[in-house]
């Protein structure tokens, strides 16, 4: 099985598939479009100007790295807005919205 998130050229970030106007499903995970799926009724859509989005992520050690955000969902009944992102070097991760500085949305 091919890994979902292989290295890519950051200059092509706008071509990365993303989840918009709905929450991610298990099928999206299987199709390598989503980074996480919370399950029915666990999260809701966060309105944004258009995904994917180019952003920087502040790491625990204080450094930052450029990432591409592919999904943003808000926890129902809770305070968290969860972000799924991919790395130009390959791989993916999950963080909370305050950890990111969004540089540009794909539809800006």
What's the token pair of residue 83?
């972000």
Question: Phi then psi for 11, rounded to 5 degrees?
Answer: -65, -20
Residue 5: predicted pLDDT: 86
What's the token pair of residue 65?
């790295």
Residue 98: partners with Cβ closer than 8 Å, 6 or more residues away: none
DSSP state of 74: E
Residue 84: predicted pLDDT: 97
Residue 2: predicted pLDDT: 57
Q: Convert the pLDDT of each residue in 30-61 to its tens digit.
A: 999 999 998 778 999 998 899 999 999 998 99
Region 59-79: mean pLDDT is: 94
Q: Convert the pLDDT of each residue in 73-90 to its tens digit.
A: 999 999 999 999 999 999
pLDDT of residue 1 exceeding 60, the answer is no
Q: Convert the pLDDT of each residue in 94-105 to its tens digit.
A: 999 999 999 999
Rounded to 5°, the CA angle 94-3-12 comes to: 70
pLDDT of residue 108 exceeding 80, the answer is no
């Amino acid at each position: 099985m091919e890994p979902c998130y292989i290295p890519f050229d950051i200059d092509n970030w706008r071509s990365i598939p993303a989840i918009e106007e709905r929450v991610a499903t298990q099928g999206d995970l299987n199709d390598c479009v989503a980074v996480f799926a919370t399950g029915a009724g666990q999260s809701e859509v966060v309105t944004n100007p258009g995904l994917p989005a180019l952003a920087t992520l502040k790491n625990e050690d204080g450094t930052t790295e450029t990432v591409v955000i592919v999904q943003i969902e808000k926890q129902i009944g809770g305070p968290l807005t969860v972000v799924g992102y991919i790395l130009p070097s390959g791989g993916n991760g999950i963080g909370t919205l305050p950890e990111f500085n969004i540089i540009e949305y794909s539809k800006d």
